[in-house]
Amino acid sequence: MNVKLNGEWHEIPDHLDDVRTLLSHFQLDSRVVMVELNDTILEKSEHGNSQLHEGDQIELVQFVGGG
């Protein structure tokens, strides 16, 4: 399915049907990541039941520590 990820269209495998599987696909599941799905910020507890659909707009912001 096609989703807009951080401003760019990407084709992602269809089995990535919720936010949690999307994050593990990008190996971000052990990181602290803020997810915005179609202009709504998700709580971490919502990642597993937030279904992804064709045309979704997703912003992934990873909190990093370096400086």
Among 17, 20, 21, 36, binds other proteins (CB under 8 A): 36
Instruction: Please give the size of the binding site for other proteins, defined by CB under 8 A.
Output: 21
Report if residue 25 touches other proteins, rule: CB under 8 A.
Answer: no
Q: Is 17 or 59 the residue whose CB approaches other proteins more closely?
A: 59
Q: What is the 3-state secondary structure (H, E, C) of 3-58?
A: EEECCEEEECCCCCCEHHHHHHHCCCCCCCEEEEECCEEECHHHCCCCECCCCCEE
Binding site for other proteins (CB under 8 A): 6-8, 30-32, 34, 36, 40-41, 43-44, 59-67
